[in-house]
Amino acid sequence: MTALHDLLPLLPPGTRSLVGAGTTVVRSVRGVVGAPDEVGRALVDGDGDDVVVLLTPVGRADARFDVLLRRAAAAGTGALVVDDGLALGPGTTALADRLGVEVVATPDPWTASVRIHELIGTGTAPAARAALAVSRVALDAGPELDDLFGRLDRELGHPVRFLDASGLALRGAAVEEAARAVLVRRAGTSDVLTAEGAHETLVAIPVGTGIGPRAWLAIGLPVPLPAEQEVVASALRVAAVAVGHRLLLTRLDDERDARYRMAMLDELRAADGAPAPQLVQRSIAAGWRLDAWHVGARMVARQVVDPVALRQQVDAVARAEGLDVVVVEQTDGWVLWCSAPDEPDREAVAETAARLRRAQNTLRATVETNVGVGSLQAGPAGLVRTLGEAGDAARLAASRPESGHFVHVDRLGLAQLLLAWTQTDTFLPASRQLLAPLERGGGALLATLAAYLDAESSIAETAAVLGVHRNTVADRIARVERLLGVDLADPETRLALHLATRARAGDGG
């Protein structure tokens, strides 16, 4: 049973109810040509259709329209559909209300009549027509997805939504949680599925390209009319093929560009600061300013992602933060850099890092990343260096949830980098073992050794730092050499012990 108000949104735009709440149950519809009195004569007492559409413009609601309303009431017709040029006065409205005949105005009675017929019908002709119409749209539309989507919107009369595999809307309104759950659960399907939500019924079909993740094409119907679902499903089947085709073309383009960029960056790295003129020329053509000041960044995805597909989004979030960046795909993420013709000051570099951090946050809705930012460097060699630093910083960021998995290599950061290198799984136990003999005796020996090495092996300086007598320092150093069985005059030994004391300090020991 379909109520009239459920049909109204699916009729030609501008269709509205003039009288009544749309409670008429629509089981049959009839379009009649002629003036109101002729239409009235076509109605059979007690055996009228539920909805009668006046195909001829009425002109004005005069006594003849009153007579028609009475005829409609006698025939059991619940609603009249008229052209929207008809203005109902209070008298006509009151009479229609009294007789229980609803009045709907539409800019296009013919189309409205046919639409209602189709919406309450069971035939397959509307579905076939929709499929044909979409196939024509698919052929006419350009290579751009937006063009195709816009034409589909107009042809189908419903906004077409494009969703990623998880049901996140990439185009169009968001999908209700319940419907998203259905999409995720039925991810393996290859045909149309429907998901009932609180406010709409989602008709969705997977878009397969053979490469990359799957996506969904979907249309939300405010009213779950079986006939309309059938029409939309058949339209979506054709549309999915057309969308998949365009996705594939776009994907091929993107892949080619990505490979080109990755290869060029690899060549730059290999050129060791002195790129060949051809390489410089190519990089300029790609919009890369090599002879400038660079701040590099490395983004490593914390889960498996498709860097080629997401490059656009990375670029967009960086640009949304006002960063003019170059983004190059890597197997596990992206490298980015900003170039400036003049040397930026410290504040500008710090601002760039802050913006990259905000971009990382924005991107979190799509993908979690570790981000490392290199220091300011100049020229082609500098670019390679800052990207290298950024790569190291990104690895460091992986174990830094407290900093939001974000590390910026500035001067302070370099020290942290050093520390990071010592805090490896192999070095930490080794340093603990190496310094274990010094643990006995309250740690004074360890503190003295650390201070002594920091003070460039100066007994006097160490005594000053620790606030003890220089003989005490000399005595303790002698005991350290004895306990560890080492000679602190040896540079290799000094370096190893220096690193070990740093690691112990970082280790909290």
Binding footprint of other proteins on the chain (CB under 8 A): 62-64, 66-71, 73, 89-92, 94-95, 98-99
Closer Cβ to other proteins, 70 or 498, answer by number: 70
Report the 10 Å Cβ neighbour count for 136: 13
Strand partners, 143: none
Q: What angle do CA 223, 224, 230 make, to 5 degrees?
A: 125
Judged on CB neighbours under 10 Å (0-12, 13-18, 19+), 256 is exposed
CA neighbours closer than 13 Å in the CB half-sphere of residue 463: 12
Closer Cβ to other proteins, 89 or 222, answer by number: 89
Tokens for 164?
Answer: 């990623």
- Find the shortest distance in angstroms from Cβ 62 to other proteins: 6
- Find the shortest distance in angstroms from Cβ 46 to other proteins: 16
Judged on CB neighbours under 10 Å (0-12, 13-18, 19+), 375 is buried
- Find the shortest distance in angstroms from Cβ 78 to other proteins: 16
Closer Cβ to other proteins, 69 or 297, answer by number: 69
- Find the shortest distance in angstroms from Cβ 58 to other proteins: 13
255 phi, psi to nearest 5 deg: -60, -45
Separation between Cα atoms, residue 4 and residue 28, nearest integer Å: 11
Strand partners, 31: 53
Separation between Cα atoms, residue 471 and residue 186, nearest integer Å: 78
- Find the shortest distance in angstroms from Cβ 316 to other proteins: 58
- Find the shortest distance in angstroms from Cβ 68 to other proteins: 8
- Find the shortest distance in angstroms from Cβ 160 to other proteins: 45
Closer Cβ to other proteins, 65 or 406, answer by number: 65
508: left (phi over 0), alpha (psi -120 to 50) or beta: left
Closer Cβ to other proteins, 64 or 355, answer by number: 64
- Find the shortest distance in angstroms from Cβ 36 to other proteins: 11
Separation between Cα atoms, residue 3 and residue 79, nearest integer Å: 11
Strand order in the sheet with 102-106: 16-19, 102-106, 79-83, 51-54, 29-32
In eight-state DSSP terms, residue 52 is E
Q: Of all helices (H) and strands (E), which one includes residue 373?
A: strand 369-378
Closer Cβ to other proteins, 94 or 320, answer by number: 94
With tokens 């040397």, the residue in question is: 343
Closer Cβ to other proteins, 96 or 152, answer by number: 96
Closer Cβ to other proteins, 36 or 296, answer by number: 36
Closer Cβ to other proteins, 34 or 89, answer by number: 89
- The number of angstroms, rounded, from the C-alpha of 23 to the middle of its chain's C-alpha atoms is 42
- Find the shortest distance in angstroms from Cβ 56 to other proteins: 15
Candidates 242, 240, 249; CA nearest to 214 is 240
